Copies of this chain bind each other. A is one copy, B any other.
């Protein structure tokens, strides 16, 4: 096994080339080199070529700190998401990234693990790291976070939910409305005994809105509120929650899950304990992750436009950064009717 030396101290230490070095190599002033890199059209063809050759020859890369110092911006956007372990966030982030990268920005990611305090910390760190703007998931957080962002003059955009009246622009969808739609459809299939497996709702407005959507549709229809159980996100957790729910309410004909991961776990558990899905128990999800169409039976769920959302959010921060006026945006969701939801037993 080869051992690798870290940064060489002292002796062999050859510094990275600077603008000066390039200027010397190309026999021009540093100003000219800088111009070649930032506004090439103002430099003569011949000089430009000479400079670019020198840049290549020295493998020069401008110093970030110096540039940020002068330009007063870092071309960096920070994002704080609950976790990349949920495909839905990973894909959303990928979309954000694609847009940012195309515009010359980079993404600084941070995750909170669904912990509001960790999220607040992350925002501070991001600010200290010079993020020009930040992306946040959901609305729920201490007002102090928003105040901090405001004093620091750091524009923020909220994703994954849409609040037309918030103090910060939000790009997302109406979690509650989507669940109302799903629930109404289920009601039309005759379901009356309904359970909900939700993610933790504390500090999570998306989860809360989804539950609220279900209850709204039920009360609209004059049906008893759903039995709700909260759990951490995860496949195993979804399964455990289903057992717990059924243990208390064996007569449920439908279990609505807060997301697809929970639903996948619930389906697996249901089958493991011999329940026929959707024959005697229907199960639905939310998000429409890739997995949703692959499980047996395939999952009836709500398709969330994560890519569009990520892209729109990225564009929104960029617009804010450009000093433009940005209105939030509500994106449509779509009910994906598959096999896990059937008529009530």
Contact = CB atoms under 8 A, between A and B. Distances in A.
B290 A129 contact: no
B97 A109 contact: yes
- State the copy count for this chain: 2
Interface in A75-97: 75-76, 83-85, 87, 90-91, 93-94, 97
B294 A327 contact: no
A69 interface: yes
B290 A235 contact: yes
Interface stretch (A59-67, A190-198, A199-207, A280-288): A59-67
A277 B98 CA distance: 38
**For A127, A130, A264, A296, which residue has the most chain B Cβ atoms within 10 angstroms?**
A130
Interface stretch (A22-30, A147-155, A174-182, A250-258): A147-155
A47 interface: no
Contacts of A5: 323, 325
Contacts of A4: 155, 168-169, 320, 325-328
Contacts of A69: 63, 65-66, 68-69
A84 B74 contact: no
B328 A64 contact: no
Contacts of A65: 64-72, 74, 130
A16 B319 CA distance: 21
Given A64-B68, A127-B61, A322-B6, A268 B291 contact: no
Interface in A220-265: 235, 261, 264
Contacts of A72: 65
A279 interface: no
Interface stretch (A100-108, A135-143, A211-219): A100-108
A125 interface: yes
A91 to B, nearest CB: 6
Interface in A304-325: 319-325
A296 B294 CA distance: 8
A287 to B, nearest CB: 13
A128 B268 CA distance: 48
Interface in A1-38: 1-9, 13-17
A274 interface: no
A90 B97 contact: no
A332 interface: no
A295 interface: yes
Contacts of A76: 108, 129
Of the listed residues A58, A59, A83, A168, the one surrounded by the most CB atoms of chain B closer than 10 A to its CB is A59
Given A17-B151, A84-B94, A97-B110, 8 more contacts: A6-B323, A7-B321, A13-B153, A14-B153, A16-B152, A59-B147, A64-B130, A75-B129
